[in-house]
Every structure is written in structure tokens, then in C-alpha cells.
A and B are shown apart, each in its own frame.
Chain A
Amino acid sequence: MNAALRLLSIALLLALWVAASRLAGPRLLPDPEAVGLAIVAEARSGALAFNLGVTLARVAAAFAIAMVLGTLLGLAMGRRRLVDRIGDPWLVLLLNLPALVIIVLAYIWAGLTETAALAAVVLNKLPLATVTVREGARALDLNLDEMAQVFRMSRWKRFRHVVLPQLSPYLAAASRSGLSLVWKIVLIVELLGRPNGVGFEIGTAFQLFDVTKILAYALAFVAVMLAIETFVVQPFERYVSRWRPRPA
């Protein structure tokens, strides 16, 4: 039933697309077949795999760095009032600085380099991860903390078995929103200052007014992200919540 509804919804979207393409003309909006053929052509030449790979690597690196730093900062701010007082204004500043400003400044200060690109993406994602984890750290159960203390658990054990499981819903939320945000920002970073990747290809296609290619790359990348969501994020969430009693 659910699968049928999903298929129906996708079929409806394709039908709308075909209709809109008829109305607007193939130059403004190519039909699904043309986009499909473009994806195949890019895949044959090897360009698609290369560009997807490059972008995915940037997404993975930026995401990992931002999540690790965000978790550490969020924990520190959630548990230590002094750190929270000092860090909060910085957080508000970063949260409200437009992504574009951070990217442009990073490129100006550090040159059109990979480091600058990654740093810009990380700085965009970091405050959101920090704020989410901070909420989690504020909600940590003091009773379990005391238990760990009287049984003399090591710092690592406490983090791994007492703190991390309590943070996991917050980390999952931060990952979800983070992954979609990070890949959008990676595309802008590539458009503005990288010689490869999906963002770069879309930039080139924009200059040539090649809507087919823009759609081909965008859809291919969405498919990759969908696969990650289905095969990595969701199984992981199921794994970390395996202990919750489920309705039979």
C-alpha cells in the first residue's frame, strides 16, 4: 500500500514534469527522457562519476569535521556555564552570517583552495550542530552521571556508554538537517571557486544555458543522497534506538 502510494506520487510528478516541458519548450525545461539521456551520456564519459565522487568527498569531509567539532563544542557549552556564556555570542554571530559571506571571505583570505572551501562549509554547518548538541547536553541525566562516578567508570567509558547514547537523538537530528544543508553549500562553494564537482558543472551549464545538464547533475546527486539516507542514516537510527521497546 505504502509502496504503491509512493510510486503513484512519483508517477504524478513525472507527468507534471512532461506537461510543463510541453508548455515551456525543451530549451527552458527538457522532458524527463532528455534529462535521462544526458545522465547516461555523462555517465558513459566518466564525468558524472568523477564529479559526483569529488562532491561527495567534500560533503563527507565537511560533514564529519563539523559534526565532531559541533559535538565537542555543544557538549562543553551544554555542561559548563562559563563556556556557554563565552561561546554563545560567537554562535549567534555564525548562525546569522549568510553562507555566501562566509564562503566569499574564506576564498579571499585563504585563496581558491580546497582548505578554504572545506573551512567555509564547516563554518556554515558548525553552529547548527553545536546548538542541537547543546540542547542534548543540557538534557543529560544527572542520576546516570552519578552512577558512572561511584562505579569509577573511565572518561571514555562514560562518554561512550553514558553520554553518547543520550545524545544520539540529537546527533541524528543534527545529521539529518546537516547532510542536506552541507551538500547545498558544497555546491555553492564549488560554483564559486573549485575546478570540479557537481557545483562546478552546474556553473558551467548555467553559463551555456544548458538546462538539461543542470537537471541531469542535480537529479543524479539527489539520487545519491537519497541512497545515503535510506541505506546509511535510517539503518543507523534503527541501530541506536534498538533498545527502545517497540509496540509489537
Chain B
Amino acid sequence: MSRAGDQDRLEVHIKRKSYRKATGGDLQVLGDVSITIASGQVAALIGPSGCGKTTLLRIIVGLDADYEGTVGLPARGRLGVVFQEPRLLPWRTVEENVRLAAPLASDAMLDSLFGTLGLTGHRSHYPGELSVGLARRVALARAFAVEPELLVLDEPFVSLDAELAKRLRGELAELVSRRPVTTLLVSHDVDEVIGLADRVFLLSASPACVLATMPIQNPRSARTAAEVVAIREELLSKASVARN
């Protein structure tokens, strides 16, 4: 393994990742996975549940150093991560949670961030007083507040009702377009990523490898409903072709 910087690009080449099983022997979770995301692009990683997506993310953000391959992070390497669970400090307020992760964030920037995410009235609340949807917004706010060079989101809308997930996706899209940042979004749901991504990587079932890559040319804001349906059809057909 090695880590090398290359401007604001993310370059991941994993050859193999396996866990030692409790009963002895190795369990391979990742096969050959190569992912490149250009600076400021939003890439989505789609694959079936349990295919190793979270493992891949943990490797990319540096929480797991035991793998074969290389990970090239953006040069300055400031990371904004949204985990599957909000992972907020229950004993600190919403604002403190964000400021602890992003000590350099300016007041004006936080004001606008809290405003966009509808958190203005909740700044002095403790996480235990928030709904799941609000807690996830705080996690989003925390990731954006560090003004990351790389933003990583692990199924950020899972277990939210459809309406709320849609609204949060819209807020995420707005944040990403306001300040372009190299973004990796992981999901098991095609619909979730179509409105957001510039490029989609399809992963196979475990041990994961990249089945297909699909760039989406149209900018996010200009995508019509018909185009979204078309993109979706193409993705689903690619997925089934690759599987057979």
C-alpha cells in the first residue's frame, strides 16, 4: 500500500483486500477495483448490499491500512466523511459537533451551511433531541464545514423515508454545486445517485470489482425527467449485462 497526492484527483487502485476469518483462512471482500475521480467531480459507487462498498470507503479514508494496492488522495487531503450512521458526539451540541471537526470554519460559512440544511433553529440542541433526518443533516454539515478536498458519503440517506431522502438529496446537490468538491457517494440504490453523479461505477457482488463505468454528460441541474429515466435504464441494463 502507498498513499500519494495528485492535485484534487482521487485515484484508487485496489488489487485485493481480504479479512482473516475467525475460523481461519481468508475471506476476500475486494477484488480488482480501480476508481479515478477527476477534481470536482461527483462519482457514485453502486453495488449490492454487502459487496464491500463500506470496506472500500474505509480504505480510501484511511481507516483500514491492510490492503494490496494504492490510494492517491487529493493533495492537501482534507476529508469530509458522512458515515452510514450520523456518528455525532451526544454530549456536544449540534454547533459544537460541527466546530470540533472544522475548527477553521468561519461564522458566516457556518451560518449559510446551517441555513441551507435547515439547522439554524437546532444549533444549540443536543443530538439526542434530534430526529434521524436532522442528525443526518448535522453529519452532512460537519463534512461540508471542513471544506474538504474529498467528500465521502456512505449511504447517507439510508433508512430515511422517500420524501425526506429526496429533500436531502436536493440539499446535497445544492451544496456540491455551490462549492465543487471531489465527491464519492456510495449507494445500493440507482435512483439515489442519478440526480447527483457525474460518473457511476457499478460494482459486482462480493468480492467486489468494477463491472462497468458510466459517465453522465449532462450537468446535474440540466437533467430532465426523461433523461433521468434514460440514464436509469442504461445503468440497469449495464448491470444485468455485466452480471451475465
Contacts and interface: CB of A to CB of B under 8 A. Distances in A.
Contacts of B129: 245
A82 B62 CA distance: 24
Interface in B168-223: none
A144 B87 contact: yes
A155 interface: no
A134 B28 CA distance: 35
A150 B63 contact: yes
A149 B58 CA distance: 12
Contacts of A153: 100-101
A243 interface: yes
A161 B79 contact: no
Interface in A155-210: 157, 161-162, 165
B206 to A, nearest CB: 22
Contacts of A157: 100
Interface in B40-65: 61-63
A142 to B, nearest CB: 10
Interface stretch (B19-27, B88-96, B106-114, B229-237): B88-96
B5 interface: no
21 contacts: A143-B83, A144-B87, A146-B63, A146-B87, A147-B83, A147-B87, A149-B62, A150-B63, A150-B81, A151-B81, A151-B101, A151-B146, A152-B78, A157-B100, A161-B89, A161-B100, A165-B92, A243-B90, A243-B92, A245-B126, A245-B128
A143 B142 CA distance: 16
Given A157-B100, A245-B128, A245-B129, A150 B85 contact: no
A149 B101 contact: no
A244 interface: yes
Contacts of B87: 143-144, 146-147
Interface string A32-70: 000000000000000000000000000000000000000
A165 B89 CA distance: 9
A144 B128 CA distance: 15
Given A243-B90, A244-B128, 13 more contacts: A146-B83, A146-B87, A147-B87, A151-B100, A151-B101, A151-B102, A151-B142, A161-B92, A161-B96, A165-B89, A243-B91, A243-B128, A245-B128
B126 A243 contact: yes
A162 B97 CA distance: 10
A149 B61 CA distance: 9
Contacts of B101: 147, 151, 153
Contacts of B142: 151
A27 B123 CA distance: 66
A234 B168 CA distance: 42
Contacts of A146: 63, 83, 87
A147 to B, nearest CB: 4
Interface in A115-171: 143-144, 146-147, 149-153, 157, 161-162, 165
A5 to B, nearest CB: 33
A152 B85 CA distance: 19
Given A146-B63, A151-B146, A153-B101, A165 B91 contact: yes
B157 to A, nearest CB: 19
A143 B63 contact: no
A138 B87 CA distance: 19
B87 to A, nearest CB: 4
A244 B127 CA distance: 10
Contacts of A165: 89, 91-92
A144 B96 CA distance: 15
Contact of A162 (B89, B126, B128, B146): B89
B91 A151 contact: no
Contacts of A149: 62-63
A153 B78 CA distance: 12
A147 B82 CA distance: 9
A5 B47 CA distance: 65
B184 to A, nearest CB: 13
